Each structure stands twice: as structure tokens, then as C-alpha cells.
Amino acid sequence: MEKLKRFTAKDAEETYLVPHWAAGFFRVGEDGELEVTPEGPEGPSASLFEIVQDLRDEGRPLPVMLRFPQILQARLVALNEAFRRAIKKYHYQSEYRGLYPVKVNQRRMVVETLAKAGKPYAYGLEAGSKAELALILAQDLHKEALIACNGFKDDDFIRLALMGKKLGKNVVITLEKFAELERVIRIAQELSVEPQIGIRYKLKTRGTGQWEESGGESAKFGFTTPEIIRAVDILAEAGMLGTIAMLHSHIGSQVTDIRRIKQAVREIAQTYVQLRKLGAPVRYLNLGGGLAVDYDGSKTAFYASANYSLEEYAEDLVYVSKEVCDGHGEPHPILVTESGRAVTAYHSVLVLEVIDTIRPPGEEKIEQPRDTHPVVKDMFDLARGISAKNYREVYHDAFANKDTILNLYDLGLISLRDRATAEALFYQIARKTLRFALEFDYPADELEDLQKMLADKLVCNFSLFQ
């Protein structure tokens, strides 16, 4: 309990690594409460606890999802400004035109906030289905903002995309599979609309982490190099080579290692150059998603982190594209990315109620029975004799005893009651060890094991699938 009293707001920030993952949108306030600063650390702040209290007073049950549109806007600005700076730094002779992939979060508030905040940047939207495209066509975007159509495309989806183009919107139909090519040519001719075609290229570079299957040669989507050549030939034959406007690739989501990203950019930029040499007037180089969020704040290539910053990502994309194009005397393409999670991840907070706490045993008083197994008796002696001087040895002995007791139990040589007593004693010794260890020097790894073993488990009632 004494330890608890000394736990300060600063300790809370360090324990939960708040400054490392919060990207300036959250902090621990002086009174120890988690605060949100939706416009960044300099802007106004509010206590999440107070927000939740107010909601409860209004009779809203938990769990509740809090959303901060200002954070969406701030992330969108940060992304676009990072590319602006990188373009200036490397004298890149073109621009950046970001896209928000609607599948990442289709909520009206999210899509409308991003459409509005993105207008000064000609920021566009990406549809993965016909329904998403219908939603996007209703948004008030900058005239030059891209509207990209990915995903499986039936005739209706293609028709809707071509209607959007006819209405003067900057719609690109990204071909994901070779079979879509014939369909797009046929419907474009039927409607007499000149399409803008994008080709999704199947990267040989894979991402890292959970979504690594989205990239690489076994990926579901994308054209292989022979398919690209065939598509170019077919379009040339139809007098439509001029409709190839975009080269697209998607390495997978949450790519934690910047080296994979650089590798992918090099590969796709080379393909852009090669397509131009074949006479296709590609203007947009679309690197898809993958920009990772450092959820755990460790700045590593661990799956919940990222070993790079937004700055570094933008600079690498700009620099590598420029280098490849300059090497072949091709013009710098308009750079496109479809960052989803990097734009949305920070804006929502799920608040849950803790409905129960599971505490490890060892806090209760344990009476020594008159007649008990010698190993259990030894545990009692250890528990009684532990001190600041001997606690490490005592803990190691207790650990060994616990193993012995489990083995004896398997052999039927010890009763359930004796085993239970011994386990409770083990936890009691572990608790005392932790108390001493926190006060005196103790090997960090063992300390961490102890803290994990003795941590309370909090039970919450919620579903991640909602």
C-alpha cells in the first residue's frame, strides 16, 4: 500500500509509456487522470474520466467509444505536411496526393471529417466496393482529389465508376485481377466514357507482421509481370494505352520495418519506369497502405510498433522514387499513398468498465496443520524465515519446492489439500520477495517475472467485434 501512495502522475506516464504511443494526443494530467488533447499538446485538454462520468450521468452505459474528429484532422494534416516537407527537401518535381481507404472506417463522421479537412490538400478517397464508391461520390472533394476504385469489381461497380468519371470526378479504376480488364474495356465502350485505369502490381517484396500475406508473390490481388505486358498489349490494340494513369501496389498493413517499405518503393518505382518505357502514360505512383502505428511506443519492428516515423516514411518514398526516375530520365510521378490506420488509429478510445478483479493467492493467513508432508512443512519454514538478507535464496528454494510438490502430486504422493497449502505459501513467499525486491537491488528479469505473476487481472465485458 505504501508503494501505491507514492505513485505519481509521472510514474503513471512512465508505467504506461503514454508519451511514447500517444503522438501528443493523450497525457497523464497533474492529478493523475488520463487527458486527451485533440489538437495536440498546446491545445485544450479534457479529462477522459470526467467525460465518462458525464456520459454516465446522462445514463449512457459502458462500454462506450469516444471519437475525436480533431485528431483525425490533425493526423491528416501531419501526413500531408510530412510529404510537403519531404518534396521540398529533395526538390521532387511533382506532388503528393493522399487517399483515405474507406474500408478502414466507414463511419459517416470519419469519412466526412477527412473529406472536409483534406480539401486544401486535394486529399481523396478509396473505395473497395460499390457501396463505398456511392458514399464517396456524394462527398464534396477537391476537384483534383483522386477517387480510387479497388476491390472486386462487377459490371455495376465499373458502371458507377465510369459515371463518376463522366461527372468530372477524378476516378481511377484499379484493376486487381486480369479478368477485370476485358470488363472495363467493354463497359467503357458501351458508355463511351474514357476510363482512367490503374494497375495493381503484385510486389515480390512482402511486408512484415500480421498482414504480410497481402504482399509477395502469393498475394491474392495484383498483376504478375506477364499479365502487365499482356494488359499493355491489349489496351494498345484497343487504342486505349493512354488510359493507364496509375500504378498501384499494397504491401500489407502495419509494416513495422522501414527497410521493407524502401524495398517495395524501389520495386514499384522501377515498374513505373518500365511501364512508361512501354508507352503507358502513368502519372500516379500509388504505394498503398502499410504506414504503421506505434501502438506500444517501443519504436521497434515488433508487430505492435514501427521502427520509423511519419517523417522518415515520407522522405523515403519521395527520395527513392526520385532516385529511380532520375536514373531513367522519367518524370517524377504524383505520389499517392492509402494510409488508413495511421490516419484513424488515434481518434477513437474504447472505454470499458472493470467488472471484476482476479487476484493471485497468497494474501490470506495460512494455518500450519499438525500433520503435513515434509516438503509442505519446509514451505512453512521458508515463509516464516524470509528476510531482507535471504529473500532471493528463499524464493529460489520455494520455486524448486513448488516443482517438487507438483511432481509428487502427479505420482499420487501428496494430497490435494497439501498441494493447495503449498501453492498458497509459494504465492505468499513471492509477494514478500517482490516487496523486498522493490526496495533492494534485484535482477531485472526475475523482478519482471514476479510482477507479472503477481499482477491483478482485470475482467471487462466487451466485444472487439463490435
Ligand X SMILES: *Cc1c(COP(=O)(O)O)cnc(C)c1O
Q: What is the binding site for ligand X (CB under 6 A)?
A: 101, 103-104, 150, 250, 253-254, 288-291, 338-342
Residue with Cβ nearer ligand X (337 or 421): 337
Residue with Cβ nearer ligand X (195 or 289): 289
Residue with Cβ nearer ligand X (210 or 451): 210
The nearest distance, CB 11 to ligand X, in angstroms, is 34
Residue with Cβ nearer ligand X (131 or 460): 131
Contact of 75 with 343, CB cutoff 8 Å: yes
Whether cis (ω within 30° of 0) applies to the bond prior to 41 is: no
The nearest distance, CB 427 to ligand X, in angstroms, is 43
Residue with Cβ nearer ligand X (36 or 291): 291
Residue with Cβ nearer ligand X (27 or 341): 341
Residue with Cβ nearer ligand X (38 or 340): 340
Q: At what angle do helices 374-385 and 391-410 cross, to 10 degrees?
A: 160
The nearest distance, CB 4 to ligand X, in angstroms, is 39
The nearest distance, CB 132 to ligand X, in angstroms, is 12
Q: Where are the alpha helices (DSSP H) in 68-154?
A: 69-89, 108-118, 130-137
Residue with Cβ nearer ligand X (148 or 398): 148
Q: At what angle do helices 179-191 and 155-166 cross, to 10 degrees?
A: 50
Phi, psi angles (nearest 5°) of residue 134? -60, -40
> What are the contacts of 448-457 at 24+ separation with CB within 8 A?
453/360, 454/360, 454/362, 454/427, 454/430, 455/360, 456/357, 456/358, 456/359, 456/360, 457/357, 457/358
> What are the contacts of 25-32 at 24+ separation with CB within 8 A?
25/68, 25/71, 25/74, 25/346, 32/8
The nearest distance, CB 100 to ligand X, in angstroms, is 9
DSSP string, 154-196: -HHHHHHHHHHHHTT-EEEEEE-STHHHHHHHHHHHHHT----
The nearest distance, CB 103 to ligand X, in angstroms, is 6
Nearest to 102 by CA among 133, 137, 123: 133
* Cα 397 from Cα 393, distance rounded (Å): 6
The nearest distance, CB 142 to ligand X, in angstroms, is 20
Contact of 340 with 253, CB cutoff 8 Å: yes
* Cα 327 from Cα 63, distance rounded (Å): 55
Residue with Cβ nearer ligand X (338 or 418): 338
Question: Which amino acid appears at position 64 of this protein?
Answer: V
The nearest distance, CB 134 to ligand X, in angstroms, is 19
Print burial letters for 265-297: b (CB count within 10 Å at least 16), e (below 16). bbbbbebbbbbbeeebebbbbbbbbbbbbbeeb
The nearest distance, CB 82 to ligand X, in angstroms, is 14
- Can you tell me whether residue 135 is helix, strand or coil? helix
Comparing every residue's Cβ against ligand X, the nearest one is: 289
Residue with Cβ nearer ligand X (128 or 333): 128
The nearest distance, CB 43 to ligand X, in angstroms, is 26
The nearest distance, CB 254 to ligand X, in angstroms, is 6
Contact of 252 with 207, CB cutoff 8 Å: yes
First to last CA, the chain: 38
Alpha-carbon dihedral angle through residues 305, 254, 347, 336, given to the nearest 10 degrees: 130
Residue with Cβ nearer ligand X (303 or 409): 303
